[in-house]
Amino acid sequence: MTTIDEHLNHIKRRKYCSKCPKYTVTKALLNDTPAIITWLLGSIIMFNFGLIIMLVYILSCVLYIFGFSRLLCTYCPLYGTISCPTKFGDIAAKLFVKIDEEKFSQRFKTFIPFLSLLWFVPFVAGVFLLISDFSWFHLGIIVIFFVFGFVLVPVIPMLTACKKCPVRRDCPWMQSIDKVPALRSKLVAYQNEHNTTVICPTSGFQSSYCPLTFIGRCRKLEDFLKTGEWE
């Protein structure tokens, strides 16, 4: 067994070893804080379109917590354990019956697009607000929202909880991140072999510095390194 498999086995049997990830409410709150701040900033942005719009957004954030617990946590091996980094698994264990762990990865992929609406709707609304009624206050809120929502929310867990997560292999986000070292090694080897610098035709960036390369999500680059041609 790998270390990850061993830890997962311990967690499922509730016989935690010294190296199994364990999260107190305080630690979990630190992981959740960037998302909470993002939602608060999103509420401020949506308030500019009316109190009802803001309340609908806040209600959506609350429903997200219960939806996440019901539609995803009930499929997660960390359901109801001290190894859940967000404690949503604890909420799920108190409210919902556990379902099928084998479907966790697929449920994750299905749920994420709906989750992203809590980030993209306020951001798009904020850009519209800047165009229609520019102010430095609006610009500041939107910039901070972007930093928390699109940078800190994914990056902080990736550097902390996700690194030790026993189910990271079933997480679509970490599956991509785990591919980064191999992808960058292949890119360096290709450039050295052909004495060239690979430029992404879509972004115009050198592929070494392309944002998609950093998160392992450039399928075009993967195909290019196999065939030598951009599709």
Residues 89 and 140 in one domain: yes
The answer to whether the beta carbons of residues 185 and 122 sit under 8 Å apart is: no
231: pLDDT strictly greater than 50: yes
Tens digits of per-residue pLDDT, 32-48?
888 899 999 999 999 99
Closest CA to 88 of 98, 101, 74: 74
Please say if the pLDDT value at position 59 is more than 90. yes
CA distance 110 to 159: 24
Cross-strand pairs, 183? none
Residues 20 and 116 sit within 8 Å (Cβ to Cβ):
no
Grade residue 3 by pLDDT with cuts at 50, 70 and 90.
low
For residues 57 and 50, give the distance between their C-alpha atoms in angstroms, rounded to a whole number: 11
Distance separating alpha carbons of residues 8 and 28, to the nearest angstrom: 19
Q: Show the domain range for 53.
A: 3-167
Question: Does 104 lie in the same domain as 194?
Answer: no
173 occurs within a structural domain: no
Query: Is residue 24 domain-shared with residue 118, that is, in the same domain?
Result: yes
How is residue 103 annotated by DSSP? G
For residues 143 and 197, membership in a common domain is answered with: no
Residue 193 located in a structural domain: yes
Between 60 and 114, name the one with better pLDDT: 60
In a domain, 172, yes or no: no
pTM of the model: 0.71
Averaged confidence pLDDT in the chain: 79
Cβ contacts of 39 within 8 Å, gap of 6 or more: 58, 61, 118
